[in-house]
Structure 1
Amino acid sequence: MAQHSAEQASWLRATLREGFDRLQRGDQAGAANCCRQVLEKKPDLAEGHFLVGMIALNADDSRTAIQGFGSVTKLQPDHSGAWAQLARLFMRRGQVNRAEDALKNAVTHADDNPIVQDTIATVYTLLGNAASASQWQEKALARQPKNIGFLINRANNQMFMGDFAGARSRLDSAVALNPRHANTHWLISSLEKVVDRRHVDEITKILSEKGLKDQEIAYLSYALGKELEDLRDWPAAFDAFATGAAARRRTMQYDETAETVFFTMLSETYTKDWLQTRAAGCDSNAPIFIVGQPRTGTTLVERIISSHSAVHSAGELRQFEGACRRLLGAQGDGSAEAVFRSAASLDPEQLGNAYMTLTQPMHGDRERFVDKLPMNFRFVPLILAALPNAKIIHVRRSPMDACFASFKQLFADAYPHSYEQTEMAHHHARYYQLMGDWRERFAGQFHEVDYEKVAADPEPHAQALIEYLDLPWEDQCLDFYQQSGAVTTASVVQVREAAHTRSVGRWRRYEAQLQPMQLELQKLGIPLEH
């Protein structure tokens, strides 16, 4: 009997190890088969359920992943790895309170496992706590100083904090370990303006090699495009951006029809009459929403505002949508279109209170806080109903500059429409027309600024912004680029500079190559420039 138990235990360990190995090699089916065998033999094996979670995580199935890791924590309450993964998943779903509870358990039970330490750091980053994230990243690196993933995460954190020299040191270490590592080269390219072709030649050589994955091609091509722009080699820069965009698009799922239906529903549902018939919302005046499109100056405006002594920068929060989903219960697990169709009937005060509860950990210690998630432009009417005393700032940019700025930017997991010219134009047209609807229906209930005007002459526009927020003027709002706080957007390097107009009209350098984008915008009645 004892021998049988020992043999079974040995078999379970070996099969589990094989499952994790297969998962690491990208063999989802093989990993799932190992997992199934293990749990058939021993349904209460915590590591078997952990493998369930990891397989689901790899398949982007967050619901199953949460179930898997949740089972682990029930079977083994001190499993820090499962708690850390749950914390990260809850953050992705906008469930901040649940994330914080899971993070507390992960920290309480954390051992010297560097993967767990790095995951904890990731959750702190998502919570906007770059200082705590750096402490856990250092712990992970102390255990595995040659782990490229850890080095990159640490470099990203240092970039967020404005420590570009420290970030470069980490990235140099990563390149020394793997000279072909695509993500590392992409991050290096963003650190500073290049003045020679040394790194360009290095990237070009790697790109010429066979067997590169699309994600690697995307990283390397966007790095190449950025540096060729620095060198003013415009045609070659565009070719690089186009190659990178095509590669990234091949890795993304994007349902344009679903987005079209979603935008149509928003316009048809959220009318002036709808808002006038809503009950009173939450009376807090703390939130300041900055909305628009990515790469259109939202971070510039956020830095100006958060330089004020009464305003805290909370980052790009997903909690408004999360509040809707939470209040809708089972209905909240549907598509964005289904969720926000149902959200029209939510009680405004409950929705506002739910948002304030979910964002409470991010409020900081000041009177007001900024939620700078550009895509919240879709939900302006819901925000007006739920938080009537909140302030909403819409940042506009000339359509072609806005579209091209997104096209030439490699995002993490967002904005799948931005990697193909006509898809980008279609999305921008939907945004442009929806904001026109909001402007007509809710005139005077949100503030609009043009990026080009703010960049060219910051002072009067900064003063108008502060006045709109009902705050006294402070001269430090013009010294926004001297802030030491973390910046976690694609503008991480640019916002450390004073305002400039170098990017205004940049699309004109690529006018011939951007014909598909121009023609689609014109066909849809969208002006190319203000």
Structure 2
Amino acid sequence: MLLLKRANELLEQGKLREAEFMFKAVLKENNKIGPALFGLGRICMRLEDYDSAIYYLKRACEHLPKMLDPLFALADAFMAVGSSVDAKTVLEYTLSVAKHNAQAHYKLGLFYLDHGFIENAERTFEAGLACPPSAVTAFMLHELSQISATNKLEAHIEKLHTLLTEYDNKRLKIVVYYSLARCNHRLQDHTQAFDYFRLANELQLSLCEFKTADMRSFFDELKEQCSEAFFSQPNDKVKATFTPTFIVGLPRTGSTLLEQMLVQHSNIGSMGESTVISDKIVPYLQMRNEAPFPQCLHTLNTSMLDHCRSLYVDEIKKHRVGEEVVINKLPANFQNIGLIQKIFPDARIIHLTRSFNANAWSVYSNHFAENEPYFCSLTEYKQYADFQEEMMAHFKRYLPRNIYTLSYEDLLDETPKELNKLLNFLYQKFEPECLEFYKSKRPVSTLSKAQVRRPLDQGPRSNWHVYEKEMMAMLDAEQTNLTTP
């Protein structure tokens, strides 16, 4: 099957059209070749043609009954079209035929966790620990370190120490260190917890390929492009059929909590942390203007902006969001506010803020998959926070009516009042269901997925206090290293 082998090679190289042609050539000879059907399903997933992906992946599962990857892919396709029930059916079936496979336990446990079935998730992860150890064992323990009862944490710590001796992969060690830190934090051994948080962050920082200071020129260029002249140019006279709404700010400032509150409203939907602007709209403008971002913003004519709107609306349709207000909660969209305002002049921007120390600790003590320096260094994060504050001040100067600032602390202290004010900004009336956000089984896949299943509490405001001495010492030492020639 040389043709099939070549098709898979092309798929791995990202040459989707060529791979598609070859997979279809294989199927023309025999339409029951499972690997070819799986290949076409993977291509459709990459192209975000989820209905076609479901068709091919279903057939692949039929003809590859002993393979789990097509089943996992089919579950992902069902999730992409909002069919959680079908995804659950597939994952539960997968576990029933692969009871000794840790990956099957992890995938189903993560589904339960994302949908708020915490007890089901815990049971599934714990059953997965009985499977032969593999890389995914570390990830199951990472989830359990946050949701297990405290009387089970010592056993998790023992398993995590075993993993440290068995695996030398740096990425896995990072996950294990974060898990050990979380277990010790919950057992109130804060000295040991901080040591593990430090090990996790230092190891991840060593994998980063740039420094936050390297972004200085980007933000300077962004301010130069999105200048007074940029905003004084007449906007296209367009009125969207929905209210484009963007929750922006620093990570771990409460965007998932706020989104979960807002989507309980009958007129508000969300496309989650959609990267459509950076992944599709910006590349289009870079191609059209033959310039990188943000220089490609120099020329934005009506035809370009119309195409950008179409790309964004297509993304909303893929997420099957039909409500009057459509949220995009990607925090890093603060960089795109100038572009957003040109595409949607009436866009609503919600800027979330949070006390720096509490926010910085929340970032430092959580595992972000991306190896970016501001996720794993307090000093690097302070630099990033300063850049973000600078950019928001710049945009607020020109768009004071489009940007609403809300602090995480105010949201916790006076939830009904703050929600009512915010809903007025979104042209909506308050609905009491917004206060019962924790009862929702809507899928949440961010780091806050377990937190938003509980009523509000003040813990996130004060967790950093027990580490204040260590945090301040680390900030002082890292700052000294940055400024020492």
TM interval, shorter chain, is: 0.7 to 0.9
2:40 paired residue among 83, 99, 104 = 83
2:105 paired residue among 136, 141, 151 = 151
Where in structure 2 are the equivalents of 1:21-170 lying within 5 Å? 45-54=3-12, 56=13, 64=14, 66=16, 69-76=19-26, 79-90=36-47, 98-100=48-50, 103-107=53-57, 109-112=59-62, 113=64, 114-126=68-80, 129-170=83-124
- Name the amino acid aligned to 1:75: A
Q: Kindly indicate whether residue 427 of structure 2 is the aligned counterpart of residue 470 of structure 1.
A: yes
Q: Kindly indicate whether residue 132 of structure 2 is the aligned counterpart of residue 182 of structure 1.
A: no
- Name the amino acid aligned to 1:228: N
Change (3 A) 1:147 1:467: same
TM-superposition CA deviations, 1:61-94 (whole Å, max 9, x none): xxx364664454453466332233224434xxxx
Aligned-pair identity (%): 20
Q: Distance in 1 between matches of 2:217 and 2:52?
A: 36
| TM-score relative to the length of structure 2 | 0.86
Partner SS for 2:367: coil
Q: What is the match of residue 198 of structure 1?
A: 154
Shift, 1:520, TM fit:
9.0
Q: Distance in 2 between matches of 1:418 and 1:249?
A: 8
TM-superposition CA deviations, 1:130-162 (whole Å, max 9, x none): 333323323433443322222211111110111
Change (3 A) 1:192 1:145: closer
Q: Kindly indicate whether residue 222 of structure 2 is the aligned counterpart of residue 222 of structure 1.
A: no
Is the Cα–Cα contact under 8 Å of residues 288 and 370 in structure 1 kept in the other structure? yes
Is the Cα–Cα contact under 8 Å of residues 351 and 406 in structure 2 kept in the other structure? yes
Is the Cα–Cα contact under 8 Å of residues 107 and 120 in structure 1 kept in the other structure? yes
Is the Cα–Cα contact under 8 Å of residues 128 and 315 in structure 1 kept in the other structure? no
Change (3 A) 1:405 1:464: same
Shift, 1:302, TM fit:
0.7
- Name the amino acid aligned to 1:153: K
Where in structure 2 are the equivalents of 1:255-334 lying within 5 Å? 256=212, 258-280=214-236, 282-284=238-240, 285-325=242-282, 327-328=284-285, 330=287
Q: Distance in 2 between matches of 1:471 and 1:425?
A: 35
Partner SS for 1:312: strand
Q: Distance in 2 between matches of 1:125 and 1:225?
A: 32
Partner SS for 2:459: coil
Q: What is the match of residue 233 of structure 1?
A: 189
Q: What is the match of residue 391 of structure 1?
A: 348
Q: Distance in 1 between matches of 2:308 and 2:164?
A: 53
Following TM superposition, the consecutive aligned residue runs of length 4 or more in structure 1 with deviations greater than 6 angstroms are: 520-523
Moved more, 282-291 or 127-136: 127-136
Q: Distance in 2 between matches of 1:463 and 1:496?
A: 22
TM-superposition CA deviations, 1:462-500 (whole Å, max 9, x none): 111111111111111111111221111110110011122
1:400 paired residue among 338, 348, 357 = 357
Partner SS for 1:491: coil
Q: Distance in 2 between matches of 1:125 and 1:194?
A: 32
Q: Distance in 2 between matches of 1:121 and 1:418?
A: 30
Change (3 A) 1:379 1:506: same
TM-superposition CA deviations, 1:31-50 (whole Å, max 9, x none): xxxxxxxxxxx5xx122230
Is the Cα–Cα contact under 8 Å of residues 425 and 520 in structure 1 kept in the other structure? no
Note the residue ranges of structure 2 that are not aligned, 5 or more in a row. Answer: 481-485
Shift, 1:305, TM fit:
0.9
Q: Distance in 2 between matches of 1:80 and 1:139?
A: 20
Q: Distance in 2 between matches of 1:292 and 1:521?
A: 24
Q: Distance in 1 between matches of 2:254 and 2:101?
A: 35
Is the Cα–Cα contact under 8 Å of residues 282 and 353 in structure 1 kept in the other structure? no
Is the Cα–Cα contact under 8 Å of residues 57 and 70 in structure 2 kept in the other structure? no
Q: Distance in 1 between matches of 2:396 and 2:479?
A: 21
Q: Distance in 2 between matches of 1:279 and 1:101?
A: 37
Q: What is the match of residue 483 of structure 2?
A: none
Is the Cα–Cα contact under 8 Å of residues 311 and 369 in structure 1 kept in the other structure? yes
Is the Cα–Cα contact under 8 Å of residues 277 and 312 in structure 2 kept in the other structure? yes
How many residues are aligned here?
463
Where in structure 2 are the equivalents of 1:489-504 lying within 5 Å? 489-504=446-461
Is the Cα–Cα contact under 8 Å of residues 148 and 177 in structure 1 kept in the other structure? yes
Change (3 A) 1:506 1:280: same
Q: Distance in 2 between matches of 1:458 and 1:436?
A: 25
Partner SS for 2:130: helix
Q: Kindly indicate whether residue 412 of structure 2 is the aligned counterpart of residue 455 of structure 1.
A: yes
Q: Distance in 2 between matches of 1:280 and 1:521?
A: 47
Q: Distance in 2 between matches of 1:198 and 1:521?
A: 33
Shift, 1:195, TM fit:
4.6
1:373 paired residue among 317, 327, 330 = 330
Change (3 A) 1:382 1:328: closer
Is the Cα–Cα contact under 8 Å of residues 208 and 371 in structure 2 kept in the other structure? no
Is the Cα–Cα contact under 8 Å of residues 54 and 74 in structure 2 kept in the other structure? no
Is the Cα–Cα contact under 8 Å of residues 314 and 369 in structure 1 kept in the other structure? yes
Q: Distance in 2 between matches of 1:109 and 1:211?
A: 37
Partner SS for 2:327: strand
Moved more, 169-178 or 73-82: 73-82
Shift, 1:169, TM fit:
2.2
- Name the amino acid aligned to 2:141: H
Q: Distance in 2 between matches of 1:109 and 1:260?
A: 50
| TM-score relative to the length of structure 1 | 0.79
Partner SS for 1:434: helix
Is the Cα–Cα contact under 8 Å of residues 47 and 72 in structure 1 kept in the other structure? no
Partner SS for 1:339: coil
- Name the amino acid aligned to 1:293: L
Change (3 A) 1:328 1:106: farther
Change (3 A) 1:311 1:521: farther
Q: Kindly indicate whether residue 451 of structure 2 is the aligned counterpart of residue 483 of structure 1.
A: no
Shift, 1:261, TM fit:
2.8
Moved more, 350-359 or 120-129: 120-129
- Name the amino acid aligned to 1:273: A
Moved more, 142-151 or 398-407: 142-151
TM-superposition CA deviations, 1:171-190 (whole Å, max 9, x none): 12210013572111111112
Partner SS for 1:448: strand
- Name the amino acid aligned to 2:118: F
Change (3 A) 1:76 1:259: farther
